[in-house]
Amino acid sequence: MKYNFDEVISRENTASIKWDVVAEDNGVKALPYWIADLDFKAPIEVIEALKERIEHGIFGYTAYSETLIPTVKNWISKRYDWNIEDEWISYTPGIVSAILYAIECFTKAGDSILVQTPVYPPFLQVPTDNNRKIIENNMILNNGKYEIDFKDFEEKAKNAKLFLLSNPHNPSGRVFTKEELEKLGNICVKNNILIIADEIHSDIIYKGYKHTPIASLSEEIKNITIACYSASKTFSLAGLATSIIVIPNKEIRDKFNEYLNVRHISVNVLGKVALEAAYQYGEDYLFELMNYLESNRDFLIDYMNRYTPKIKPIKAEGTYLIWLDCRELNLNDEELKKFFKKAGVELNSGYTFGDAGKGFMRFNIGCPRETLVKGLERIKSAYN
C-alpha cells in the first residue's frame, strides 16, 4: 500500500463544511458522515504539483492550459471507454453550478425538469430556486436494490424539457447498466429532451460494476447530452472548485460556452493544477482508495445487519454514500433526524432527497476505518 487511508487527520478548524458546520447536542459535536467529501489526503503527486505551483508565488488571472486537454481525454477514454474530441471540453467551477448554467441556458421559467428520486438535493433545489418545475420519476426499491420505473419515466418524459441524470446515482449507489442508460437515453431522444449527465461519481465504482457515460451509447444520445466530470470526489479536491463539462453537439456547446463567456467565470489557478496531476498520476491512488472504500462499505453493512438490524443499508455499486433504509424504526422525519443527532452522528436526512427519501438517511463512508467504527458504535448505542 502506497497510500495510508487509515491515517486519521483532523479537519476541525479548517472551515470544513463537513466537520466545522455540524450540529451540537448539549455542547457535544456530532461526528460527521454527511456531505460527500473524503477525510483522506489527496494523492502525494497532487500535493507536490500544488506545492510547485505555490512556490512560483504569483497567482494572477489564469487560463486552462492546453496540456489539460490530452490528460482529461486520456482519463475519460481509459477509464470509461469514451473517446472525446478536444473542442468538446469546457470547464466550470463546479458541477452544481454547471447544472444551474445549463438550466438557465436551455430552459425557461415554468419548464419541467425530470429527476430520478430519491436524488441528490441540489437536483431538486437548483431548478425550483430558479422557477423551474420538478417532475419526479421515483425509483423502485426491490429486494435491497433500486430499479428504474421506465413506464413512469416514459410517461413523465412527455412533459419534460430536460433530464437531470445522476450516474452513478446519488444516493442509491446504483451504477446504471448500459441497457438502462440506453433505454433512458432513447426516451429522451424520442421526446427531444436535453440530458445533463452528472457523472461526478464515475470513478468510485466497486468491483463487478463499470461506469458507462450515457453519451457514449449512440450518436443520437451523444447529441443531446451535456456530460459533467470532476476529480473532486475521487481525489479529495472538492474545495478547489474545478470541473469538466463535455458537450459533443456544437450548437449546444456554442450556446453553453457563450453563456460562460458573457459571465466572465474565472479559473481557479490551483484547481486546474490539481485536476491535471490527479488525472495524470492518480490511478494507483484510485485503485487503493476503491479497495479501502469497498472494505468500509462491507464492514458497515455487516455491522448494521448484526447490531442495528432495523436499519438496512443498501449495498452501493458506486459512490461512497450508503443509503440507509430506516423505515422499520417507525420514526417520522423529525424523529429520525433527532435519533441520529442524539446518537452523536451527523448524516443527511432522506427527506431532503425528495418524498421518496422519507424514512431513509445517507451515510458517507469516505473516512478512516477508525472514524467509521466510532460512528457505527454511536448508532448502535442509541439503537439499543
In the complex with ligand PLP, the residue whose CB is nearer, 344 or 367, is: 367
CB neighbours of residue 71 within 10 Å: 17
Query: Using the rule CB under 6 A, which residue among 30, 134, 188, 200 binds ligand PLP?
Result: 200
Nearer to ligand PLP, 225 or 243 (CB): 243
Choices 88-96, 216-224, 266-274, 349-357 (CB under 6 A): range interacting with ligand PLP = 88-96
- Decide: residue 9, CB within 10 A, 0-12 exposed, 13-18 middle, 19+ buried: exposed
Q: Which of 22, 33, 34, 36 binds ligand PLP (CB under 6 A)?
A: 36
Q: Is 94 in the site for ligand PLP (CB under 6 A)?
A: yes
Q: Which stretch binds ligand PLP (CB under 6 A): 40-48, 124-132, 149-157, 230-238?
A: 230-238
Span interacting with ligand PLP, options 3-11, 93-101, 296-304, 371-379, rule CB under 6 A:
93-101
Nearer Cβ to ligand PLP (318/368): 318
What are the distances in angstroms from CA 38 to CA 18, 25, 59?
9, 24, 27
Name the closest residue to ligand PLP (Cβ).
Answer: 94
Angle at alpha carbon of residue 136, lines to 317 and 143, rounded to 5°: 40
Nearer to ligand PLP, 40 or 120 (CB): 120
Pick the piece of the chain touching ligand PLP (CB under 6 A) from 18-26, 91-99, 341-349, 364-372. 91-99
63-69 long-range contacts, CB within 8 A, separation 24+: 63/267, 64/91, 64/267, 64/272, 65/272, 65/276, 67/276, 68/272, 68/275, 68/276
Query: Pairing between strand 225-229 and 28-29?
Result: unpaired
State whether residue 140 is helix, strand or coil.
strand
Considering only 22, 49, 89, 95, the residue that binds ligand PLP (CB under 6 A) is 95
238 touches ligand PLP by CB under 6 A: yes
CA distance 175 to 202: 8
The answer to the question of residue 170 lying near ligand PLP (CB under 6 A) is yes
Q: Which of residues 138, 212, 232, 296 is near ligand PLP by CB under 6 A? A: 232
CA distance between the termini of the chain: 37
Q: Closest CB to ligand PLP among 138 and 230?
A: 230
96 binds ligand PLP, rule: CB under 6 A: yes
Distance in Å, CB of 120 to ligand PLP, minimum: 4
CB nearer ligand PLP, residue 101 or residue 292: 101
Look up cell 425557461; give the residue: 108
Q: How many residues does the chain have?
A: 384
Residue count, binding to ligand PLP (CB under 6 A): 13
Q: Closest approach of Cβ 296 to ligand PLP, in Å? A: 17
Residue pair 119/139 in contact (Cβ under 8 Å)? The answer is: no
Spatial neighbors of 188 by CB under 8 A, at least 6 apart, are 157, 163, 194, 195, 221, 224
Q: Which residue's CB is nearer to ligand PLP, number 212 or number 308?
A: 212
Residue type, 220: E
Residue 166 in the binding site for ligand PLP (CB under 6 A): yes
**What whole-number distance in Å separates Cα of residue 226 and Cα of residue 196?**
5
Question: If binding is defined by CB under 6 A, does position 349 make contact with ligand PLP?
Answer: no
Q: Considering the rule CB under 6 A, would residue 116 count as an interface residue with ligand PLP?
A: no
Q: By CB under 6 A, is residue 120 in contact with ligand PLP?
A: yes
Q: What are the helix (H) ranges across the chain?
A: 17-20, 44-56, 68-80, 95-106, 122-129, 150-157, 178-190, 219-222, 232-235, 250-263, 269-281, 283-307, 333-343, 369-383
Q: Which of 242, 238, 248, 189 is nearest to 213 (CA)?
A: 248
Stretch that binds ligand PLP, among 94-102, 254-262, 285-293, 341-349 (CB under 6 A): 94-102
Report the interface residues with ligand PLP, using CB under 6 A.
Answer: 36, 94-96, 120, 166, 170, 198, 200, 230, 232, 238, 243
